[in-house]
Homo-oligomer: A and B are copies of this chain.
Amino acid sequence: MTEHDFYLDRRALVTGGLGFIGSNLAVRLARLGAQVTVVDSCVPGCGASDSNLEGVHHLVRVIRANIADTAEFERELAQADIVFNLAGEISHSRSMEDPLRDLELNTVAQLKFLSAACALRRGVRVVYAGTRQVYGPAAELPVGEDVLINPTDFNGVHKRAAELYHQMLTRMGKLDGVVLRLTNVYGPRLGLHAHGQGFLSVFLRRLLDGDGIEIFGDGAQLRDPIYSEDVVEAFLLAGMARELPHRIFNVGGPETLSVAAIAGIMRDEIAPETAVRCRPFPPDHLAFDIGSYSSDTSRIRRDLGWQPRTGFRAGIRETVRWFAGVSTSR
**Cα–Cα distance between A158 and B164 once the two chains are bound (Å):** 9
Which residues on B sit within 8 Å (CB–CB) of A150?
Answer: 167
Give residues of chain A (119-155) contacting chain B, Cβ–Cβ below 8 Å: 146, 148-154
Please report the C-alpha to C-alpha distance between residue A78 and residue B107 in the assembled complex, in whole angstroms: 29
A103, B108: Cβ atoms closer than 8 Å: yes
Per the bound structure, the CA–CA distance linking A156 and B169 in Å amounts to: 13
**Number of residues of chain A lying within 8 A (CB) of chain B:** 29
A206→B171 CA distance, assembly (Å): 33
Query: How often does this chain occur in the complex, in copies?
Result: 2
A168 near B151 (CB under 8 angstroms)? yes
Grouping DSSP codes into helix (H, G, I), strand (E, B) and loop, the A interface class, with mixed when no group exceeds half, is helix
CB distance B107 to A172 under 8 Å?
no
- Chain B residues whose CB sits within 8 angstroms of the CB of A148 once the complex forms: 146
Cβ-neighbour of A99 out of B99, B111, B156 (below 8 A): B111
Interface assignment of A165: CB less than 8 Å from any CB of chain B: yes
Rounded to whole Å, the gap between the CB of A111 and the closest CB of chain B is 6
Across the interface, which residues of B come within 8 angstroms of A111, CB to CB? Answer: 99-100, 103, 154
Shortest distance between the CB of A53 and any CB in chain B (Å): 32
- Enumerate 19 A-B pairs (CB-CB under 8 Å) in ascending A order: A99-B111, A99-B115, A100-B111, A103-B107, A103-B111, A107-B107, A107-B161, A108-B108, A111-B154, A146-B148, A149-B164, A151-B164, A151-B168, A152-B171, A156-B168, A157-B161, A157-B165, A160-B160, A172-B287
